[in-house]
Structure formats: C-alpha cells, structure tokens
Amino acid sequence: MNNILNNKFYLLWEKAANFFLLNLLWVIACIPIVTIFPATAAMYGVIREWKMDGETSVFRPFWNNFKLHFKKSLLFEIIWVVIASLLFYDFQIVFQMTSAGFIPVKILLVLITATFLCMSTLLFPLIVQYDSKLKDSIKNMFIISFAYFPTTLLIVISGVILFLVVYILPITLFILVSLYGYLNFHLSHQVFTKIEKYRLSVSNK
C-alpha cells in the first residue's frame, strides 16, 4: 500500500515539476518579446507530445518544437499583433464617440473582437497539430471555433480567469500558463478527434 502511495506521489510530483519547468522555459523564451508566439507554440508542442506520445521530458522537446514551429508562429505573431493593434486603436476612437449613430459601429467592433478572440483559442493547438498553410489554418480557426462554440467559450473563459489571476498574483505566471496550455490543447484535441472521426465516417460511406 505504501509503495502504491509513494508511486502516485512521485508521479504527481514529476508532473508538477514538468509543468513548472515547461512554464519556466516558456518565460525564458519569451524574454526577447518577439519570440512570444514561437515560445508558446513550443510549449503547446511539448504538451502535444505529452498527451499523444506519452513523452515526459521537457527541455529537448521544447527546443525542437521551438525550431520546428518558429517561422509559422512568427508569421502568425505579426498578423495577430497587427490585427490586435488595429482593434485596440479602433476601440480607443469609437468608444469615445457619444453619438447614437455610432452604436451599430460599436456593436460591429465588439463582434469582430469576439470573433478574433474565439479564433485565437485554436491558434496554437492547430499550429502544433496540423501542418497547414497559413490561409487554411485561419479558415479552420474560424470554422471550428464557431462550429464547436461551447468548447471555444470554455477556453475563452479559462483564459480570462488566467489573465485575472496572473494580473492579481504575477508570480502565478510561472505555473498557470502551462496548465492553461494543457487544458486548451486537451479541449481542442477533443474537437480535432471528433472532426477526424466525422471525416472518416463520411469517407467510408
């Protein structure tokens, strides 16, 4: 009995240590700022290997995934930063307008921003799961995020909670990001599995 408890405790401690190390590597890789997206893609790549291949190591898989997804994730970073900057700039202007005529514009801007956030939840899971072209990845993000909206909403809410916790307690940045990444990939992978099963059933008819 004691051996079983010791084994469970060891496995739990090993997982906790791996999440902490992964999170630490992510923070270090994000220090140049411009490498935030490649670092996040690398983190998701490690999580994918944990889930799909039963991998338990951290350092080598992280740097392998960093190099593997660097170009694609950096391109997405440029696109995402431009879009986010434009949305932020538009919010600054539009929501200062008090005229009732701007209400439809405000509603449209909120809807566009919400769409952008929903699509963003699938960005890194799709990068590490599929070797798709840029336009195909963006199209898939849009379709999947709304076709499986309850899952998307859950991921968004979890992300908002993460942001609030890290904002209140910045030290939690060193553990919560990898845990959120695991939750995000787990939920996204469930969606990917459903899609693959559907495609397989259709192709077999």
**pLDDT tens sequence across 58-101:** 999 999 999 999 999 999 999 999 999 999 998 888 877 767 66
Reported as a single tens digit per residue, the pLDDT across 91-114 is 888 877 767 667 788 889 999 999
For residue 141, give the nearest of 97, 194, 105, 188 by alpha carbon: 188
pLDDT for 48 = 94
Q: Identify whether the C-beta of residue 133 lies closer than 8 Å to the C-beta of residue 151.
A: no
| Residue 32 neighbours by CB distance under 10 Å | 10
Rounded CA separation 22/99 (Å): 49
Q: Identify whether the C-beta of residue 51 lies closer than 8 Å to the C-beta of residue 185.
A: yes
Rounded CA separation 72/105 (Å): 33
Would residue 129 be called left, alpha or beta, if left means φ above 0 and alpha means ψ between -120 and 50 degrees? alpha
Best-predicted range by mean pLDDT (7-11, 53-57, 138-142): 138-142
Would residue 99 be called left, alpha or beta, if left means φ above 0 and alpha means ψ between -120 and 50 degrees? beta
Rounded CA separation 86/29 (Å): 26
Is the overall model pTM greater than 0.85, yes or no? yes
Rounded CA separation 161/34 (Å): 25
Average pLDDT over residues 127-131: 92
pLDDT for 6 = 60
pLDDT for 24 = 95
